[in-house]
Every structure is written in structure tokens, then in C-alpha cells.
């Protein structure tokens, strides 16, 4: 099938590779323009563009460039921009969406599933409509969340999504007979800085979900501390808001329960074990709080 592909981040790359591997003619890849990265300000391509260059595919940065190509369908994977109704009217598009629709329509479905404590998420291959993630679903695949990090879970979903996409495109039955979405609708708003902030108002379970996202942080002695990994603490009771060394582990007391920090990164520092950080910080646990 002659296709256009619209995508940007690393999570979209497996789908692009799968389409080419399955023998589809990807006539055009549309992705965001190169961005400046690093101290030198050098331009860097998106992961999708880098993959398209490797595969020798035509690349564009504007939806209007579709006008120059005759394609049967478009495929959209984490493109990052809304597609105008007039474009959808001209080119039917499939979307690889990382949730079990209609749960978690929107920009951050995987992150919101983790934060909500969902036990599973998945991939929905749907026909794209002008409204946000409302289209009928051709195929759905489920994936357990467990304690997987956001990076790990996204990688798994990207692989499952690529397989599901090629299955739909290879099946006239699946392609022709999508089902309407059923169930309660929830929306996955973009995350803000505060979504990564660990505070003592949260339960231990919720704190660990935030840590799963990566970039979790808290404030200790008015300094920012990044928390890269942690586990639930099941020892003696630790007061809410307190931070202490217990059982050779650095413990944060939460609203319900406590967590034991494993790997942390102090402000302007390197990643290290939590106990090494505690030793170097020389904090008085009788006084210091975390927030």
C-alpha cells in the first residue's frame, strides 16, 4: 500500500520500520523540523526523521506537502499536531494510539495511565477523525503496566503498536470493519512540572507511580533532589514529611506508608545511591523535612 507517515518521537520509529519491512511504499514521511540541541546549538533531527533518512525515504515538515503525493492512506504515530479536517477528508488516516480507547484520549495517555494506577494499558489502531481520538477502532492490544518505567512501557507499546498496525493494514477485514469506541471517556492532559513533584500529601503508592515516570523530584533542605528509583518501605512507621535513615535505607514518610529511595541525583550533581547522598548531605533527621 502507498502510504504517508506522520510521526516524531522514538516511540513512532518501530511503526515506520514495520511498514517498510512489511513491503509498504512509504511515499512521504512528515515530521517536525530539526531543533537545536546541546550547548553548541547544532540542529538535530527528530528520531522519525533520522530513521527516514536511514531508510532513504522522502521527508517533509509541513502537512501541505501531502498535496504533492498520491497516497492511499496516512499513518499517524505520535505526530504531535492536530490534523485539519480538510486533510482528513482527502487522505484517510490510521492512528496508532497508546491507550485502550476511549480511556485516555489526548496527549499523555501512557503517563496518565501510570499516574491513575491503571493495571493495564495498550494500543488502539483507529481511524483518525477531526475530533480528538474519537475514531472507530480496528484493533486493540493490551499490555500490563506493572512497575515498568515510562520509558520501558513506551518501548513495549511502540513494538506492540507496530505489529498491530501492520496486522490491520494486511487484513481487508480489519481495515474495512472498525468498531465504535465504547465505555467511559477520560482525557490525558499534558503533564506539568507539578505532576513530577513528590510531596508528603501523597500516598506511598502514588509516589512510586510518579517515580515510574522519570524526572520525579522533591525538595529537601530547600534543595531539589531527583528521585530516579525507589521502592515501598515496609518497616517501622515513619512520620509523614520526615526523611530518615532506617534499615540502611533513606526513607520518606508519606501520607500513607513510606518509600525507600534507591538512586537519587542531587541538584547539580550526579546519580548516586540514596545512602551515599544522605552521608554526604549530613542532614539532621530530627529537623529536616521533605516536601
* pLDDT confidence of residue 171: 97
- Cell numbers 469506541 correspond to 181
End of a domain among 142, 169, 188?
188
Domain assignment of residue 12, yes or no: yes
Domain assignment of residue 287, yes or no: no
Domain assignment of residue 286, yes or no: no
pLDDT one digit per residue (tens) for the chain, 291 residues? 999 999 999 999 999 999 999 999 999 999 999 887 766 678 899 999 999 999 999 999 999 999 999 999 999 999 988 899 999 999 999 999 999 999 999 999 999 999 999 999 999 999 999 999 999 999 999 999 999 999 999 999 999 999 999 999 999 999 999 999 999 999 999 999 999 999 999 999 999 999 999 999 999 989 999 999 999 999 888 899 999 998 899 999 999 999 999 999 998 899 999 999 999 999 888 888 998
- Cell numbers 506522520 correspond to 6
* pLDDT confidence of residue 40: 67
Domain assignment of residue 235, yes or no: yes
Cα separation, 95 vs 76, in Å, equals 5
Q: Is 215 left (phi over 0), alpha (psi -120 to 50) or beta?
A: left
Residues 249, 233 contacting (CB under 8 angstroms): yes
Query: Across the chain, which distance is largest between two alpha carbons, in Å?
Result: 70
End of a domain among 166, 188, 210?
188
Q: Which is nearest to 19 in space by CA: 77, 89, 64, 66?
A: 77
For CA atoms 20, 25, 30, 36, give the dihedral sign: positive
Query: 83 and 59, same structural domain?
Result: yes
pTM of the model: 0.93
Q: Which domain holds residue 161?
A: 2-188
The CA–CA distances, whole Å, from 118 to 95, 99, 144, 206 equal 22, 11, 9, 12
Query: 158 and 19, same structural domain?
Result: yes
CA 275 to chain centre: 30
Domain assignment of residue 155, yes or no: yes
Query: 217 and 139, same structural domain?
Result: no
Dihedrals phi, psi of 210, to nearest 5 degrees: -65, -40
* pLDDT confidence of residue 213: 97
Domain assignment of residue 291, yes or no: no
Query: 107 and 16, same structural domain?
Result: yes
How many domains is the chain built from? Answer: 2
Residues 88, 130 contacting (CB under 8 angstroms): yes
Query: 152 and 21, same structural domain?
Result: yes
Look up residue 195 and give its three cell numbers: 505532576
Cis peptide before 25 (omega within 30 of 0): no
Query: 98 and 27, same structural domain?
Result: yes
Domain assignment of residue 11, yes or no: yes
Query: 184 and 198, same structural domain?
Result: no
Query: 114 and 204, same structural domain?
Result: no
Cα separation, 133 vs 97, in Å, equals 8
Domain assignment of residue 89, yes or no: yes
Query: 9 and 120, same structural domain?
Result: yes
Query: 33 and 174, same structural domain?
Result: yes
Which CATH number belongs to the domain containing residue 204 in this structure? 3.10.25.10
Which CATH number belongs to the domain containing residue 51 in this structure? 3.40.50.170
Residues 35, 48 contacting (CB under 8 angstroms): no
End of a domain among 129, 154, 188?
188
Query: 164 and 264, same structural domain?
Result: no
Query: 184 and 205, same structural domain?
Result: no
Amino acid at each position: 500500500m502507498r502510504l504517508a507517515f506522520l510521526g516524531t518521537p522514538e516511540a513512532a520509529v518501530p511503526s515506520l520500520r514495520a511498514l517498510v519491512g512489511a513491503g509498504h511504499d512509504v511515499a512521504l514521511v512528515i515530521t517536525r523540523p530539526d531543533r537545536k540541541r546541546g550547548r553548541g546549538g547544532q540542529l538535530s533531527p527528530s528520531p522519525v526523521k533520522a530513521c527516514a533518512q536511514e531508510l532513504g525515504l522522502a521527508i517533509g515538515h509541513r502537512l501541505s506537502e501531502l498535496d504533492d503525493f498520491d497516497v492511499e492512506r496516512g499513518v499517524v504515530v505520535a505526530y504531535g499536531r492536530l490534523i485539519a479536517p480538510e486533510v482528513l477528508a482527502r487522505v484517510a488516516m490510521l492512528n496508532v494510539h497508546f491507550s485502550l480507547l476511549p480511556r485516555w484520549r489526548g496527549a499523555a495517555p501512557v503517563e496518565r495511565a501510570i499516574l491513575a494506577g491503571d493495571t493495564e494499558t495498550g494500543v488502539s489502531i483507529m481511524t483518525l477523525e477531526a475530533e480528538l481520538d474519537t475514531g472507530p477502532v480496528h484493533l486493540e492490544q493490551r499490555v500490563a503496566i506493572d512497575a515498568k518505567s515510562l520509558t520501558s512501557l513506551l518501548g513495549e507499546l511502540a513494538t506492540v503498536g507496530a505489529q498491530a498496525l501492520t496486522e490491520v493494514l494486511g487484513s481487508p477485514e480489519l481495515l474495512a470493519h472498525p468498531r465504535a469506541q465504547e465505555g467511559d471517556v477520560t482525557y490525558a492532559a499534558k503533564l506539568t512540572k507539578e505532576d513530577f513533584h513528590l510531596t508528603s500529601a501523597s500516598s506511598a503508592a502514588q509516589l512510586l507511580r510518579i517515580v515510574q515516570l522519570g524526572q520525579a523530584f522533591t525538595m529537601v533542605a530547600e534543595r531539589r533532589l531527583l528521585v530516579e528509583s525507589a521502592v515501598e518501605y515496609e518497616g517501622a512507621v515513619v512520620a509523614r514529611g520526615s526523611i530518615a535513615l532506617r534499615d540502611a535505607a533513606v526513607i520518606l514518610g508519606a501520607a500513607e506508608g513510606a518509600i525507600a529511595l534507591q538512586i537519587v541525583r542531587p541538584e547539580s550533581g550526579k546519580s548516586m545511591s540514596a545512602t551515599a547522598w544522605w552521608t554526604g548531605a549530613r542532614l539532621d533527621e530530627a529537623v529536616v523535612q521533605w516536601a
